[in-house]
Amino acid sequence: GEDVEQSLFLSVREGDSSVINCTYTDSSSTYLYWYKQEPGAGLQLLTYIFSNMDMKQDQRLTVLLNKKDKHLSLRIADTQTGDSAIYFCAEFTGGGNKLTFGTGTQLKVEL
């Protein structure tokens, strides 16, 4: 079955790097996503990675994918207070256009 897990909380200081981790169980995942949810808002797609890639970089964001360990991470460089949000990883396995979301990681950025 599909199961996506994340740690619930992460606290970092402004200017440091944040690393948010995600593990999934379905080895047939084709796409993996990171969504951001700011307080009181819906989810917004941050970035995604195809399963045949190991890494993707987009400005301050770096996504690493370890297919062998079924581990996905999101690194945010130079973390700012505006990065405080809940971050969800999600996997798409090709069945019915459905995404399976993780539990979400609440990132708190302290001054």
Near other proteins by CB under 8 A: residue from 85, 102, 107, 109? 102
Residue nearer to other proteins on the CB measure, 30 or 77: 30
Near other proteins by CB under 8 A: residue from 7, 12, 21, 43? 43
Decide: 24 and 30 in contact? Cβ < 8 Å: no
Q: Which residues, in sequence order, are CB contacts of 37 under 8 Å at separation 6+?
A: 43, 44, 85, 86, 87, 88, 104
Residue 108 in the binding site for other proteins (CB under 8 A): no
Residue 34 in the binding site for other proteins (CB under 8 A): no
Name the H helices within the chain: none
d(CA 76, CA 101): 20
Site for other proteins, rule CB under 8 A: 4, 6, 8, 31, 33, 35, 40-45, 48, 88, 92, 96-99, 101-104
